[in-house]
Amino acid sequence: MNNTKKTTKRKKIGEDSTLNEYERQRLENIRRNEEVLMQLNIPEIVRSVNLKKLKAPQKRVYKVQWPSEPTRHSLRLRGFTPDGTNVKREAVKKEKRRAREKRVRFNADIIRSELESIDVVDNNNDFVDLLSKMTKFSNNENISDEIDYNCIPGGVNGFKTVQKIYSSLSIVTDWSTVSVTPDRIYCIAVHPSKEKVLAAAGDKNGCLGFWDVRENIKSEYEEDQPRTYAFQAHTGTITSAMYSPTDSNHLYTCSYDGSIRSFDFNQAKFMETFIYSEAEDSEYLLSSMDMDPNGQIIYLSTNHGQFGIKDIREPAEKFTEYKLHQNKIGCISINKIHPQYLVTSSKDKSMRLWDIRKLNTEPEIQNIRFDAAVTSAYWSPIGNQVVSTSFDHILRVFDFNEECNLKLRHEIPHNNKTGWVTMFRATWHPNPNMHPHFIIGDMLKAAEIFSGVDGELIWTLRDEGVKTIPAVNAFHPNLNLIVGGSSSGKMCAFEEMPESSQLERIKSMPQPVVVINNYNH
């Protein structure tokens, strides 16, 4: 057999008449490239290279250094024998106790000379002078107890009248907002005096601040500045503040430090009204309080569901305690007309009605369930309605009927997701002779006022100078004035403009230019 090598013979360019000009040009280029490769001996070089030895370049990997976990300290290193869960709890309690040693609760009355001023501009003598003026104005400034029941439910002033009042309110002070406390404001109390407007605010760290709304004070540089005073009244968050219903010279405050104090305007002194001293390492966090119409009994609640009754005429440690909820009681309110009825709102998504005369037997009258935690529930000043605030973004108004039950009257959608802002709480106007209405903060840096009769929005208080959310708001009992407080410790006041200021504003307005056209006939 003849071993013959098969070779592919290309047709010469132009031999195939079916090729067009482009294909013939392409084949010519291929032939030329093959000749060049053969002259350079490229095919032999390619065959001699071992492709398996060639490795692709590796990409550089950057390792992320995550933060290391905190060092774990065993119970044995901390001086405990790890023999059960109870030992762990004791270790945690011991650590909490050490942390609280840095912030010891005041265990006695704080006299004037021991008042710890927080504001650098404060002058104790000037503050005492302010208090002496307030005691003169406080003789007959409480809200009148005379209630015209014929005005229920519309009130002496109707919806339109109240709307006209609040539409005339504005910020007339030299500053839109005034810093009163160093930290977040949790509660506000307004003195009932008509001659001098004094607002008090309690903040997160136990500071009690005062603001003389209508008067300024000279600084060391002879400049006008707000007349504010701030003192360390408690060592924990001040959750509630209210004046005595019978003596406006006493301001009561309750705090997370487990105590209730009364600030006496006559003596410029913080007096110890209640203190929980059963166990040093236990936390008795007071979340809310209220007083009976006679001003002798204080009702209190805690973050653990306890309810207490304290007679202020008895020693500070003596009180009666009951367990009403399994979770935090955020707010309590006593009916001012029928003080035997108590309403509580809790983190356990319930609002409950109680008869405090039957606390030792079966005190619960009604249990109303919500879809989320209930932050507050307050009786109206005439005791015929309750307004509640909840994290389900609904304000609810209930009627108190003859069967001593709460019946839902209105549901008002409202954004109550405050986040880092102090929780919203709808509160009634304390004057019983007005159209029933309540106020609540708004996330759009405003405060909204709603009617308790039909649930309609009466007015929205807003000012361009207020850059923070007035989460906490309070009515002046005897004046058309509203004070708001924010999470930055600042306060604002909406009030009617004085007649003299109105005249000055009208005079300062540019005069209209009148153009008279003379026509020649």
Angle, CA of 93, 99 and 101, to the nearest 5°? 105
- What was the pLDDT predicted at 129? 80
> Per mean pLDDT, which range of 66-70, 181-185, 366-370, 512-516 is the poorest?
512-516
> Per mean pLDDT, which range of 49-63, 148-162, 249-263 is the poorest?
49-63
> In the chain, what percentage of residues exceed pLDDT 70?
71
User: How confident is the model over 259-277, as a mean pLDDT?
Assistant: 89
Q: Is residue 294 part of a domain?
A: no
Q: Residues 21-44: pLDDT tens digits? A: 888 898 999 888 888 888 877 767
- What was the pLDDT predicted at 38? 81
Q: Is residue 419 part of a domain?
A: yes
Q: Is residue 461 part of a domain?
A: yes
Q: Please give the torsion angle defined by the CA atoms of residues 193, 194, 195 and 199, in that order, rounded to the nearest 10 degrees.
A: 50
339/353 Cα distance (integer angstroms): 12
Q: What token pair was written down for 53?
A: 């030895």
User: How confident is the model over 387-396, as a mean pLDDT?
Assistant: 96
Q: Is residue 359 part of a domain?
A: no
Q: What token pair was written down for 195?
A: 């001659």
Q: Is residue 137 part of a domain?
A: no
Q: Is 8 exposed, middle or buried (0-12, 13-18, 19+ CB in 10 A)?
A: exposed
Band (136; pLDDT cuts 50, 70, 90): confident
> Per mean pLDDT, which range of 124-128, 249-253, 420-424, 488-492 is the poorest?
124-128
Q: Is residue 498 part of a domain?
A: yes
State whether residue 508 is helix, strand or coil.
helix
pTM for this model (two decimals) = 0.74
Residue 479: partners with Cβ closer than 8 Å, 6 or more residues away: 194, 197, 495
Q: Which of 423, 399, 392, 303 is nearest to 343 (CA)?
A: 399
Domain count, the chain: 1
Q: Is residue 389 part of a domain?
A: no
Q: Range of 161's domain?
A: 152-184+414-509
User: How confident is the model over 377-396, as a mean pLDDT?
Assistant: 96
Asked if 182 and 196 touch (Cβ cutoff 8 Å), the reply is no
Q: Is residue 334 part of a domain?
A: no
